[in-house]
Structure formats: structure tokens, C-alpha cells
Structure 1
Amino acid sequence: MAVAEDVRAAASLPYHEPNIAQILVMASFLIVLNGVNSIIDRILYCGLVGQVLIGIAWGTPGAQWLASTLSSSTAAFEHVVVQLGYLGLILLVYEGGVSTSIASLKANLPLAIAVAATGIAAPMGLSFVLGPLVGATALQCFAAGAALCSTSLGTTFTVLSTSGLSATRLGSVLSTAAMMDDVVGLVMVQIVSSLGSVAGEGAGSSVSIEPVTVLRPVLVSVAFAVVIPLTNRFLLRPAMRYLDDKEEEKTRAVLGVLATREGALMIHTALLLGLVAAAAYAGASVLLAAYLAGIMVCWWDAERETRQRARLPSPEAVTPTDADRQEAASPVATNMPCRKSEHTGVAIYEHYYEAAVGRILKPFFFASIGFSIPITKMFSGPVVWKGLIYTALMILGKVLCGLWLIRLPAARGSSSGAGSRKLSKLSSAGGGVRSFFTTRLGKVAAAISSRGKTSKMTTAPTAATTTTTASPSSPNPSSPPPPAPPAQHQPVVKPVSLYPAGIISCAMVARGEIGFLISAVAESKGIFSSSPSPSAAGQSVSSSLSDEQQQQQQQQQPSDIFLIATWAIVLCTIIGPFAVGVLVRRVKKLEAQRRGGHASDEDHVLGAWGV
């Protein structure tokens, strides 16, 4: 407060030249962040893990170089890094929306909802194991589950962009599910904050929640998700038609500024800031607004490209005379067949934002996650093994999300082979459990037999044609060739491995910023530090102490539940991207072998999920 009053009283901020120690610390911080990110990205596609560790080493949990060297006040520079990092997070989420495929998003929305629901319900249910593990109350278990049910959006979009899966079907499902988990996590922040305030006011009384606390973030988020698509359909589409008509009428003097790259930058930035500000004041997720802003820009680019391609005449229908007449009548329409790619949302982001986000803002964001890890308080014996057990349960809760992507190959046709018939006899004679497994084995055996038969049928006609063409002394050369066998319906290409399910499971494991936020709110509100069944001596001691002394003790000594939840968040944030990097490296290696001819075309690594 004294520093703020001094700043307000001063007429200007005095300029002081930074000393060499401050310059070296800032330079080394940025250089090491980017260097570690580049090295780990080339090996395992998870350079963000190194940036989190650098934040621990340089920040308050570690050597405290940033706080002690760069500012006279405590952790002032770290607060600036946190704020700039959150700005980078908003731009990362916006990039994810801009690079999303609208068609893939519409087609995979039910699957994304199922993945998100699993990623929320499973960690919440498994968090109640803290009751017998550490003696936590139901409220504390709920707060810990709320912190661990979210998915780190910054980590998700960074992994997708680094691995090149952003525009695929797998990336669409993953980004949409992570966004839904994030919205639910931010709603949990409001609920946990209200629970903490109510629990602090009524000691030992029943906790009651105001309905507006829960309904406002949910309804506002749903309203944003519903109103923006309706705005695209009923407002932006007529505006697009109006602009196309003006372009055909050559009235481009007024709209000339909007047709430039700088005009597109102003429109995209104004849309992003407008939706973010509206969501913040309305009580919704700021990151959801950034994602929807990117979706709006992506939808506009897709619709504009579709309309301009539809206006182009087909090459078969245009004769030379018609083409000359059309070129003489409207030279503007022929000179601009499609919208320039430099005006799209992806091109604008890459030209203006990508360098600053990739080199400064994104490293600051992941380093700020490292600032909030109390590494020196986490290595007591009971906290470590309980944290490892809770981490394993939280990893399991998110790994269950990949079950929705597992598809067993189904048998096609009546020629299933003798193996499937024998397995069906065994299934009819066996019990319920054995019949389940034998039925699944029968499907796999039928798929293998049908695949072998189709490969033989495809090689047989080629061999026959080569032998007929190689023998010139045929007795009846004018006779027509024998009719080709009827082509069988080829099954839809499906993944032959568990790589898609493994990638989406491991990518959903990372918690990150929302998990730290919810756990920090629960700790500051006294939810984690409150005793489940205080004794009379404990009540007398707590009543004798003042509120300020209790707050000082809580700040100096974090609760065990908070440290256990922090263990789970930290390890999940590190293990998830690391596992995704290993899987993506393996997938890319298999894809390179398949394209190089070392594997057959039928062996697809990701199948339909990589399209």
C-alpha cells in the first residue's frame, strides 16, 4: 500500500538505468527458457516441462534470483511475468480456436462431450479417497477433486501445435474436451471460493451455497457458446453477402482499409478483446471467450473461401467467347478468384503474434506455473508417498478418457472363416465372462481373415493381367478379357493401434494453471487447513489466537492436503506432456517408415483420427 501511495503521489516515474546484474538475470532467464524449450521439443515435443522447471529454479521456490535481483519489492518482477504469461495463455487459446477445423468440430462434438464428462467425473470421484488416506472431510475432497478435474489449456494447445495435430480430428476432440474441462474448472473456482467464505463464517454449521454462485458462471458460459454460433449465422453471414455485393459493384473506396492486412488485424484484435472483456464482466471464462473468438475468425475464413469458390465458373461450362466476355465485363472478379491467404486468421496470427507469443509470452506462462510450486515444503515423508498415490489415481482418472477412442475392428461379409465359427461355438457353451472375451476374439480373428482375403484378391487380378499381356500368341486375341470379379465393399479405415487413445489420454492428464488456481483458492480460504474434527484443546488454542496470527501460521505452514494436491498437479503437468511427446515421436517414426515404403499402405498409425 505504501508503494502504491508513493507511485500515486509522484508526478512521473523516475528513470533508472538497470545495473549489469539485472540485465544478466533477465537475459539468462529468457535465453534458458527458449533454449531448454527448443532442445526438449526436438527430442520429445514437451519443452514446456523444462520451462516449468526453469520457473522453479529462477523464481521464489528456488534460487529467488528474479525477486532478489530485479526489484526492491518482494516478487514484483514475478508478478509481471505472471500477468504477461496469462496474456500469452489467452493468445495460445485464441490460436487453438483459429486453427480448429469447423467441420471436424461439428462432427466430433458428441465425442468431445463424452471425453470431457469422463475427465471431470472420474477425478472428482477418485478424490474422495483422501478421506481414508489423510482424514479429509467431504468438503476438502470436493475442493481437491475440483482442482484436479481441469485440463491445462496452455499445455494442450502447446502440445498440439508442437506435434502438428491441431487441425486433425484427434486435435479437434482434444481441444474441445479440454475447453469444456476448463469451463467446469473455472465454475469450480467460484464454488470453492463461496464454500470457503461460508465455511469461514459459520464454524461447524451446515454449509449452504447460493444458487447464483453456481448458476451464473454456468449460464453465462452456455450463453456465450450458444449466442456466438447464432451471431455467425444470422449477423455475420448477411454482412458477408453485403461485402461481396459491394466488392462486385467496385465500391471498394470505403472498404479499402478493411481489405488490408492491417485492417484484418484490427478486426481480429477488437473481436478478441471485446469477447474477453464481456466474458470477464459477465462472470464467464476468459479463456472460453478467447477460444470462441478464434472460432468466429475461423468460421468467417471458411465461409468466405466457400462463397468465393462457388462464384468461380467451372472450366467445362466456360467457352473462350464467354471467358473473354466475362473478363471484359468484370475484371475485378476475375483478378480476385479467392480471398488472399495473408488475410486469414491463421496468417494474421503467424505474422503479428506468433513470434512474441512463442519467444516471450508462452515461456513466461509456463515459468509462472513453476513460481507457484512450493518445492521446499513438499518433501516430507508422509506427504511424498500420499502425494504419489493420489497422483496415480488422478492419472488414472484422465487416462479413462481414452476409452472413448478405442474401436475394435468389426467383421465384414459372411466369409468370417472357420476360426470365428469355432469361437462362436465356444461362446455359446461357455459362461458369461468367457462368452464376452471369445466374442471379442472372434471379431479380431474375422477382421484378420477378411484382411488377408482382400489382399489376396487384389494381387490375383494384377498377376492375371500381366500373364495375358506377356503372351502374344493367344489363340483368340479379339475375344474380350474375362470379367473381373465383383469388387467387395472395402471397410472404413480404422486405426490398428491404441496410439489415438493413448495420445488423448496422456494429453488430458496435464492440469496446469487452473489446478493451481483452484487449490490456491481453497488453501487461502481455509478449506484445506480446516481440521475435520477439532478437539476441545484445539478449539481453545484457536480461539485464543487472533485472526492475523492464524493467517500467518497458515501462510508459513501449508496444509498436508494442499501439498498432496500440489504433488498431483505438478507430476500430472510433467508426466502428461512427456508421455504425449514419446507417443508422438513414435507415431512420426512409424509414419515416416510407411511413407518410405517400409510398411504397407494398410497399416495406418492414427487411422481416421489423423485426418
Structure 2
Amino acid sequence: MDVNNAETAPSLPYQEPAIVTILVQSSFLLLLNAVNAVLDRLVYCGLLGQVLIGITWGTPGAKWLSSEVEEVIVQLGYLGLILLVYEGGLSTSFRSLKANLALSFAVAFTGIGVPIALSYTLQPLLGATAIQAFAAGAALCSTSLGTTFTVLASSGLSSTRLGVVLTSAAMMDDVVGLVMVQVISNLGGGDINAVTIVRPVLVSVAFAFIVPLICRFVVKPLTVLLNRYRKTRPKVWISKLLCLRQSPLVIHTGLLLGLVTGARYASTSNLFAAYIAGAVISWWDSEVPHPVKPLEEQMDTKKEKDSLREHNADQHAAPREAGTTPAEDVIEPTTEQNSAEECDAHGTSKKESVIEEETSGAAIYERYYQQTASRILQPLFFASIGFSIPITHMFQGSIVWRGIVYTILMTFGKLVCGLWLVRVSRAPTRDALAKLLVNFRLPFMPHLWGKKESSTGQLRAQREIPSTAGSNESPQTSPAAKPFSLHPPLILACAMTARGEIGFLISSVAESNGVFLSGTPAPGVESDIFLIVTWAIVLCTILGPIGVGLLVRRVKGLEKKKNGEQEGSGRDVLGVWGVE
């Protein structure tokens, strides 16, 4: 149908898709999930396979998907990204976030400042201007939220202290990156003023501080008042309404959509708003008091249940062998009883766990969103990243080597973030160097890739013998030295290395607004700076998850070995950073 006719048509005529379209799109969806499952099992980075499939099926590769289909995939994939970030907010511990906020800020500031500073090497490397170098650094200062949350979820580190620091630091990086989008979008026309920079910054700060204040001084007192009302009037309609399983779904979804919409109209990051929505729900589940059923009603309910069990036992009092329990004796509670148990689940700790499993933010997400998001929407998002990679224009000799050099610099710019997690177990003394050699555990390559460390262990044992010589304390009373573990800093550094969707967005905005262009470019030809920045984004997005996956695989192996040899005793492999 002609485009003009389609716009004026009263409806869209239904047409059966061609068999080629069915085969291409079905193979696309199936392979996205199959490759993800295989790579997640091997190295915890199945998203890279999804990016490669996006390159192959999309415009950069075979062009099996039409441009209209790619646009729909990009839109649906962004919904998956919003849900992915929202899920990360749901898994955030509010207490851990507050306790590690300063450390997260330090990690984020390092991950922003160092890449931007190193990007000014493009001036002698490419003859770039200061504004072009700044735009390139802005694209490389971000951290891929989709990659971060996916890697943490597949590795099981989301709820650990390491995961909290990583997610909050990555969120800060992306908020700054998305503020950069607003700035860079005006750089091409030279329209730079205070409002361009200050407005997105102030709006982001407002979301970060005003929403928690509203929760603390408005939502929590209102919830307490509502709980008192429900306690004195348990039969009112609002109590029955809030006991429905669908009520939290409506409330959580409304909060998510409201914050995302408000953030977009206020010119700040809607991904940041999605994370705040998840964190607010997690806070409400864990920090806000919930109604408790009166003790008399609890006792009455218990008596009714005991009476029902006795009545059921009398009806099925047929002789049977001792120690057996026939299936007929098992009472299946009715729907009304289930609703009552769910509604009054705050009376005891056991019942509280039931209500948390049924109506908490994580439970609602798992029940209503998990399958669709993880099997369809999120794979489409990572495939849409592959659509944005101009793979056919990147393999020019001068572009490749400069892109690799710039990638090395940008990788180093994020790897230094891991230094904030390196902890010295003892105060420095005159024997600091000797103790450092004893305590410091370098992940030598044979050790890192899972081979046995017999020689390394013997060498460490030989080093530990002189360290106790001359000491007046016995080995039993002397405190054991706590060795370094470089796994948490390396995991953090590699996870921060992946740039992903925000990096592509910033570089694309800079290219389309003429920031990267010098002179009058030929139509359809990308600038050299854009291709070099794309090289850095692609390679960092590939190397980061692979590094995290290999490190997590190593940590899992060490934990399995420790649990097998010591039956679960001893320090955690990740130390304090593995605490949930």
C-alpha cells in the first residue's frame, strides 16, 4: 500500500504474512533466546550473542529484517530496557544503598571523569576539536544499564554489596550521560546556554532527592494512617480491595508509568525514573509497617482451621497403616480462605512471608512481567543495539587501529573504578612490603582460567612461614591475615566497561547534529570520529561482559571448591562485597 494512502485509510487491511517473513522473524526470536541460554551457561554474557544476531539479521548484515520491522523492534526493545532497569530497582536494598552511597558516588565520578579526560587524546590522534573530544568522552563515560543488570541477574550478584555499588554507580553514570545528550544535541547549532545544561541536571537531582522525601514524609505517614483505619474496620471495601492480588499490580504499574512519563516531559532520564520506581516499591515492601491482624481474630481463625481439620479427619477415619497420610486427608483451602490468609498475613512471621511472596514488588514482577520481558522484550533490546553498529564501514585500516587504541584508553578509563574496592586488611608498618607480598593475591593467568594452583599454593605457604617467625604469639592466638581478593574490584571494573545503549545514543546524536563532522561530508558517509567512537563502544560492550562472565565463573568454582573442602566454612570468596 502506498504511504500516502496508508495515512488516509480508515483502517489497515489485514494481510497474511509471507512464509519468508514468518521464517525470518521466528528464527530471529528463537535464536535470540537459544544463543542467550548457551552463552549465559558458559560465560554469563548471553547478551553478546543477541547483539551479534541483531547485526546479522538487521541492516548492518544480511538485511533480512525490513526497516519498519527494525523500528518496531527498537521500540519494543526499549520497553524491555525500562522493565530491566525497573527490575534492578526492585532488587535494590534501600539500607545497602544508603550505606554505600558515598562509595557508589566515588566509583561513578571516576567512571565519568577519567574517560572524558582521556578522550582529549583524540585531538592529536585525529585533529579533533575540543568540543568533538568532549562529545566522544561523553559517549564513553556512560555504563550500559541493560548490560549491567543482565550480567548481575545471570551471575546471581544483584543483591550483594558489590551489586548494589555497581548498579547505583552505573545509574549515576547513565544519568550524567543522558544529561550530556541534552547538551550535545545543541552543540551542533551552537545554542549553548545555562538552561541547556542546568535544567536536566536539576531535574535529575529533583528526582533523586524529592521522591525519597515524598516517600518518607508523605507516603509512609499516609500508609500508617490507612493501616490503622483498616485495623479498626477490617470489613470496609478498601481493605477488601487492597487484599486482591491484582491491586499491587495496578499500583506498581501506575507508579512506573507515572514516573517514566514525568521524567520524559521534565527532560531527564526515563531509565532513571524506572529505577527509582523499583527502588520505591522495594523500600515500601521492606521499610514501611503493614497492618497486623488482632490477636483475637488470629486465634479465632486458628480455631476455625483446627475445627475444619478435625471434621475432615472424622469423615476420613477409615483404618490405614501407621505413618501414612492418604491424599484424601489433605485439605485444599478454598479461594475465600486463601484471600483471608493473604489479607491477614501480617499476624505472624510465617504468614508475613506468604504475603511477601504474593504481593511484594519482586513477586508481582515475576508473576506478570518476567516471562514476557526476559524472553521477548529484553532480547529485542540487545538485538536493536546490533542494528546501530555500522559494521561495513568500520573496517578501514586507519579507522581500525585508531579505534583499538581509543578502546584501550576507554577500557582503562573504567578499569580504574575498581581501585575503590581494593581494601588493605592491615595498617601499614615497617614490614608492609613483606606483608603485602604475603597477603596480596594476584589472579595469575593459570589461576584465573580455572587451572590448579599447586605451585602457587606451595609458594604462598613458604612465604607464610617466615612471617610468623619471631612472633611471641602462638598460631592459635595470632589473628589470621585476611588476604586481598581482586575478584570484586575486577568484576566491578569489567562491568563498568560496557557502554551499550547510552553510548550509541550519545554518539548518534553528536553525529546527526554535526558535532563530529568537519567540513562538508559526503551523503551517507560517517565521520572518522564517529566510527572510532563506535569501535570503542562495540569493543568495550563485548569485552566487559566477557570479563565479568569469566570472573564470575572463577568465583563460582572457588566457592564450590571451598564448600566441598571446608563444608561451607571460611570466608566468602568475595569477602565483604559478597554479603547480601
TM bracket, shorter-chain basis: 0.7 to 0.9
CA distance in 2, matches of 1:125, 1:447: 46
CA shift digits 1:501-553 (9 cap, x unpaired):
0000000000001100111111111111124xxxxxxxxxx5xxxxxxx6xx2
Are the aligned partners of 1:120 and 1:149 in contact in 2 as well (CA < 8 Å)? yes
1:281 aligns with 2:265: yes
1:133 aligns with 2:94: no
Are the aligned partners of 2:439 and 2:483 in contact in 1 as well (CA < 8 Å)? no
CA distance in 2, matches of 1:105, 1:526: 40
CA distance in 2, matches of 1:224, 1:330: 46
**Pairwise mapping of residues 496-535 of structure 1 onto structure 2 (< 5 A)?**
496-531=484-519
CA shift for structure 1 position 408: 1.4
CA shift digits 1:197-243 (9 cap, x unpaired):
21xxxxxxxxx621000001000000011111111111111122123
Question: Which residue matches 2:235?
Answer: 251
Letter in structure 2 aligned against 1:95: E
CA shift for structure 1 position 196: 1.0
CA distance in 1, matches of 2:345, 2:188: 65
CA distance in 2, matches of 1:37, 1:510: 17
1:575 aligns with 2:543: yes
Are the aligned partners of 1:147 and 1:515 in contact in 2 as well (CA < 8 Å)? yes
Question: Which residue matches 1:18?
Answer: 17
Letter in structure 2 aligned against 1:29: F
CA shift for structure 1 position 246: 2.8
Tell me, what secondary structure is at the counterpart of 1:46?
A: coil
CA shift for structure 1 position 330: 11
State the TM-score, normalized to the length of structure 2. 0.83
Q: Structure 2 regions of 5+ residues with no counterpart?
A: 304-339, 441-462
Tell me, what secondary structure is at the counterpart of 1:283?
A: coil
Are the aligned partners of 1:96 and 1:294 in contact in 2 as well (CA < 8 Å)? yes
Tell me, what secondary structure is at the counterpart of 1:497?
A: coil
Tell me, what secondary structure is at the counterpart of 2:243?
A: coil
CA distance in 1, matches of 2:239, 2:492: 44
Q: 1:563 aligns with which of 517, 531, 534?
A: 531
CA distance in 1, matches of 2:537, 2:42: 24
Are the aligned partners of 2:184 and 2:509 in contact in 1 as well (CA < 8 Å)? yes
CA shift for structure 1 position 370: 0.2
CA shift digits 1:415-434 (9 cap, x unpaired):
xxxxx66x48xxxxxxxxxx
For residues 6 and 244 of structure 1, do their structure 2 counterparts lie closer, same or farther at Cα, with a shift above 3 Å needed? same
For residues 380 and 442 of structure 1, do their structure 2 counterparts lie closer, same or farther at Cα, with a shift above 3 Å needed? closer
CA shift for structure 1 position 6: 2.6
Question: Which residue matches 1:36?
Answer: 35
**Pairwise mapping of residues 96-245 of structure 1 onto structure 2 (< 5 A)?**
96-198=88-190, 209-245=192-228
Tell me, what secondary structure is at the counterpart of 2:185?
A: helix
1:327 aligns with 2:299: yes
Letter in structure 2 aligned against 1:262: Q
Question: Which residue matches 1:465?
Answer: none
Question: Which residue matches 1:463?
Answer: none
Q: 2:367 aligns with which of 339, 351, 354?
A: 351
Are the aligned partners of 2:77 and 2:379 in contact in 1 as well (CA < 8 Å)? yes
CA shift digits 1:143-171 (9 cap, x unpaired):
10010000000000001111001111000
Letter in structure 1 aligned against 2:552: V
CA shift for structure 1 position 2: 7.0
Are the aligned partners of 1:495 and 1:606 in contact in 2 as well (CA < 8 Å)? no
CA distance in 1, matches of 2:551, 2:302: 53
CA shift for structure 1 position 18: 0.7
1:290 aligns with 2:274: yes
Question: Which residue matches 1:268?
Answer: 252
Letter in structure 1 aligned against 2:261: A
Are the aligned partners of 2:281 and 2:361 in contact in 1 as well (CA < 8 Å)? yes
CA shift digits 1:85-108 (9 cap, x unpaired):
001000000000001111110100
Letter in structure 1 aligned against 2:525: Q
Q: CA RMSD in A?
A: 2.9
**Count of residue pairs brought into register by the alignment:** 511
Q: Structure 1 regions of 5+ residues with no counterpart?
A: 68-74, 199-207, 314-322, 413-419, 425-436, 459-487, 532-541, 543-549
CA distance in 2, matches of 1:380, 1:455: 66
Letter in structure 2 aligned against 1:529: L
CA shift digits 1:570-604 (9 cap, x unpaired):
00000000100000000011111111125884443
Are the aligned partners of 1:260 and 1:343 in contact in 2 as well (CA < 8 Å)? no
State the TM-score, normalized to the length of structure 1. 0.79
Runs of 4+ off more than 6 Å: 323-326, 329-332, 442-448, 450-455
CA shift digits 1:398-454 (9 cap, x unpaired):
000000000011159xxxxxxx66x48xxxxxxxxxxxx578569879999589999
For residues 402 and 210 of structure 1, do their structure 2 counterparts lie closer, same or farther at Cα, with a shift above 3 Å needed? same
Q: 2:414 aligns with which of 398, 404, 422?
A: 398
Letter in structure 1 aligned against 2:360: T
Pick which of 276-285 and 447-456 moved more. 447-456
CA distance in 2, matches of 1:149, 1:453: 52
Question: Which residue matches 1:585?
Answer: 553
CA shift digits 1:3-50 (9 cap, x unpaired):
2x4333111110001111111011000001000000000000000000
CA shift digits 1:132-153 (9 cap, x unpaired):
1111111110110010000000
CA distance in 2, matches of 1:124, 1:603: 38
Question: Which residue matches 1:471?
Answer: none
Tell me, what secondary structure is at the counterpart of 2:225?
A: helix
Of structures 1 and 2, the larger Rg is shown by 1
Letter in structure 2 aligned against 1:219: L
For residues 129 and 104 of structure 1, do their structure 2 counterparts lie closer, same or farther at Cα, with a shift above 3 Å needed? same
CA distance in 2, matches of 1:53, 1:288: 27
Question: Which residue matches 2:319?
Answer: none
